[in-house]
Amino acid sequence: MERIALAQMNSSDQLQQNLNQSKQLIEEAAALGVSLIAFPETFLFIGDRKDIASVAEEIPGKMTSIFREMAVKHNISILLGSIIEKAPESSEKFYNTSVLINQSGKIIAQYRKIHLFDIDLPHYHFFESDYYLPGSEIVCCEHEIAKIGLTICYDLRFPGLFGKLANCGAQLIFVPAAFTLETGKDHWISLLKARAIENQVYIAAPAQFGKHQGNRNTFGNSAIIDPWGSVLCQAPYKTGLICAEIDLDYLNQTRTHMPVHQHRIRKIDF
């Protein structure tokens, strides 16, 4: 069994402040002896659209180099829940990208958010597609903890993506998020549990919480769910870490007793 930690944050538009807090959380996770720490979506910057270009960078770049050094220093894997990546094909739009760094400081996977959050409600307007491009590739990679699948926030509402990750062999799927308060209170935990149950995987969801620049308010409640749908841990409404063990023997036992994977009709794309 391997132990992982999720960082819950209330990120601002002050990159250096967010970076300093992230470093502190890595040190705390290392002191707890966990194998991996995962950060929320856009954990280094939540601010006005006009400021995004100033913090966007190529991958690898300055920020990934900092965290690669931290991974080696503390002998810990780090999931950068998402950072703002410069798009080679556009000077005006960017990618919302997760980066997985192993304990040796090597980038072993990066995932560009596929499903962009565009809503137009009477009291709330938010269009990620105004400044982000959608990714197009499903990402599942080998790691010493488990075979890991990567998603970001709004992807949670699209079970087909999680099914494809499960078909690729994913045992642990990360969902770094900045889920809105309004939708989160009704849907967040229910959706996380559903994705875990239907795919018989561990779901690990580090989240943003509280008020941010631009009239944003996020739900928090970072959580780790096991393959049976049980909530192993759930964060209170504050910055900090939650931890749980990833037990592949238990995962395999769950799949043996209820062989959903064997029964899935793989020739049909649901």
Query: Which active-site residues does the annotation give?
Result: 41, 113, 153
Greatest pairwise CA separation for the chain in angstroms: 52
In degrees rounded to 5, what are phi and psi of residue 90?
-150, 140
* Distances in whole angstroms, Cα of residue 165 to Cα of each of 61, 127, 153, 228, 264: 27, 26, 15, 17, 13
How crowded is the C-beta side of 179, counted as CA atoms within 13 Å? 29
d(CA 194, CA 200): 10
- Residues whose CB falls within 8 Å of the CB of residue 169, separated by 6 or more in sequence, listed in order: 140, 147
